[in-house]
Structure 1
Amino acid sequence: MHGLLMSAPALAGLIAFVGVPFGYAVVLSLYNVRLGSPLPPSFFGLEQYRRLFTDPDLSGPFLRALLNNLVFAAVVVPVQTALALGLAVLLNRTLKAIGFFRSLFFMPVVFPMALVAVVWRLILARSDQGMLNSVLHHLSLGHWGAHDWLGSAATAMVSVIALSIWQGVGFQMVILLAGLQQIPAELHEAAQLDRAGRWQRFCHVTLPGIRGTLVFVALLTSVLSFRVFDQVYILIRGGGLNEDATHTVMYEAVTTAFDRNDIGQAAAVTVVFFLIVVVLTLLQRRFVRPDPED
């Protein structure tokens, strides 16, 4: 009884901010709802879902967006988690001004994504004035041409991934840093007395000590990577980003709702995507769950 009472605020928040919106989206997906239309909504049943998987004009963009999401998550989750772990280990020291360096690496997290996207648009600009092209031009002694990093299908998704990792790695770093600081110093001292090297201490002391934290970070990063939207929307609309190579399911849902004014179809997209993310998260949780004693 006490446990239920203590979890009641969290459950109420989960129902209010996840359960109710999801239920409303399910209801909207069963109707033909047009934004700004004078006609009342008409009941469609499962027609929106049938169209989503059988109509080439709808299923093609949706499946492409889903593939882009999967590629983004497959790269961002392991790379960002590994970088965050490396930074956390590097900054888990009692050095002078260590707080400054921790703040420096965490700073991109507090920047609005709109600002981050604009800054990276300047870095990846197609012209010779783009910062990355300019640096490569000087390093290659003038042999590097102006590459369209955002417009090229080969590098568009890579650019979005690099932007997202740079902006988000500091958040995971702080969580892992907190986990590292919970490992008793006596374990490292005992390993040193046994003449264990740094790599051996990392593999047999550090990693087991933060296994639960690593699992949490991987799950959190997975969820955040599937809801990627801001940077893609800003760069497609104002930065010349290749839309086919980078548009995500959230981008597809938003453009369906507000560009094509089809609220019912957009709701069906979000419902299907929500269920896919839940299933993938549960599978990931099952395969990477920490040991019971963690």
Structure 2
Amino acid sequence: MRYNKRLKRRHIEEIFYGYAFMMPFLLSITIFLIGPIIYAFIISFKDFSFLNPEASKWVGLKNYIQIFHDATFKKALINTTIYSIFVVPIQLIIALLLSLVIDSDIKGKTFFRVAYYIPTVTSTVAISVIFLYLFKADGLINSILLKFGLHGPTWFNSVKFALPSIMIMAIWSSVGNYMIIFLAGLQDIPADLYEAADVDGANKFVKFFHITLPMLKPVIFFNLVMSLIGTFQVFDQAYVVSNGSGGPLDATMTIVLYIYNTGFKDFNMGYASAMAFVLFAIILFLTLVQRMLFREENY
């Protein structure tokens, strides 16, 4: 009986100390993440401004209904969707090819890993400024094109070329991150599978499509989800190259940039919060669709 009481007391102490160690994390995540999310969801049903929060009033679903009639939001959604459709597959294909090259028996593996990964850890603002100089009217890119008799456009000031220029920037700056993840997945594939394939006389293409790709499905799913979320949340590049306007003629306006302008420039935080939750619903839906396509039984 006394032994059982001692065990029970020890169990209670372990629970207490466990929650005591977790308390700083629980408090921080409640104050800085869960709390703001709940508050933002509440004000998404209000006509709300931080300049005069006392004058806020409940408007119900008005903010959400307004989104479907907002031409700028539709343009931002189209731009962001086009951006994602091109950036996601291209950067993942390039990242996979680079990881295959680095995983092969070549000299200078460490150099190539660092060279491809450096843009990932570089500030997106700094990268955007560099690309502004590269793609300006008399910049390096147009100078190179001029040597071949081609007259390049004013890239970031062109309605036609502004968004593709940001796509190029995004692919170059983020491909290293997905390359490292693919590389980790490649190194986790058992060598016995390739040895057995060699015994059966399989060539490199057969091994790639029948061993490498099937074994990389969980990694591909992870990279695909993270890449899609990242592209739908694009903000820094569009803000820097357009000076926050999303121009020219909303050609670089993205959903997050429009949310930022609405909330912190127009001070319409209620409508901005509603758009943020619509964006959350879009990302959640796309993630669930990808989860269905990459079911565990298919791994």
Q: TM-score over 0.5 for the alignment?
A: yes
Structure 2, unaligned runs of 5 or more: 1-17
Answer yes or no: is the 8 Å Cα contact 2:246–2:254 preserved in 1.
Answer: no
One of 107, 132, 138 as aligned partner of 2:147: 138
Amino acid at match of 2:288: L
Tell me what 1:80 maps to.
91
Query: How far 1:52 sits from its partner (Å)?
Result: 2.3
Number of residue pairs aligned between Structure 1 and Structure 2: 278
User: Given that residues 121 and 239 in structure 1 are in contact (C-alpha distance below 8 angstroms), is that contact kept between their aligned partners in structure 2?
Assistant: no
Q: Report deviation, 1:97.
A: 2.3
Q: Given the alignment, which residue of 112, 117, 122 partners 1:111? A: 122
Percent sequence identity over aligned pairs: 32
Q: Is the contact made by 1:215 and 1:290 (CA closer than 8 Å) also made in structure 2?
A: no
Of 275, 281, 291, which aligns to 1:285?
Answer: 291
1:205 aligns with 2:214: no
Letter in 2 for 1:26: F
Change (3 A) 1:210 1:242: same
State the secondary structure of the residue aligned to 1:244. Answer: coil
Q: Which amino acid aligns with 1:277?
A: I
The one-letter amino acid of 2:280's match is F
For residue 154 of structure 1, report the CA deviation from its aligned partner: 1.6
> What is the DSSP-based 3-state SS (H/G/I as helix, E as strand, rest coil) of the residue aligned with 2:234?
coil
Equivalent residues in 2 for 1:88-167 (5 A)?
A: 88-126=99-137, 129-140=138-149, 144-167=150-173
Alignment match, 1:30: 45
Aligned counterparts of 2:205 and 2:133: Cα–Cα separation in 1 = 40
Larger Rg: 2
**What residue in structure 2 maps to residue 169 of structure 1?**
175
In 2, the alpha carbon distance for the partners of 1:153 and 1:269 equals: 24
Runs (5+) with no aligned partner, structure 1: none
Note the alpha carbon deviations across 1:237-281, whole angstroms, 9 max, x for none: 089953512211100110011221111111111111111211121
Q: TM-score, with normalisation over the residues of structure 1? A: 0.87
Amino acid of the residue matched to residue 58 of structure 2?
F
Residues 256 and 241 of structure 1: CA distance in aligned 2, closer, same or farther (over 3 Å): closer
Q: Which one of the candidate residues 246, 250, 265 is aligned to 1:259?
A: 265
RMSD (Å), alpha carbons: 2.4
Deviations 1:35-66 (A, max 9, x none): 42385322222222222224xxxx10011111
3-state SS in 1 of match to 2:250: helix
- Indicate if the aligned counterparts of 1:256 and 1:265 stay in contact, CA closer than 8 A: yes
Deviation at 1:290, TM superposition (A): 4.2
Conserved? CA contact 2:244–2:257, under 8 Å? no
What SS does the corresponding residue of 2:243 show, helix, strand or coil? helix
> Which residues of 2 match residues 221-232 of structure 1 at below 5 A?
221-232=227-238
Q: Residue 253 and residue 282 in structure 1: after superposition, are their counterparts in 2 closer, same or farther (change >3 A)?
A: same
Q: Which amino acid aligns with 2:126?
A: L
TM-score for both structures, normalised by structure 2: 0.86
Question: Aligned partner of 1:133: which letter?
Answer: N
Q: In 2, are the aligned partners of 1:35 and 1:258 still within 8 Å (CA)?
A: no
Paired amino acid for 2:93: A
In 1, Cα distance between the equivalents of 2:273 and 2:117? 35
Aligned CA distance change for structure 1 residues 225 and 16 (closer, same or farther; 3 Å): farther
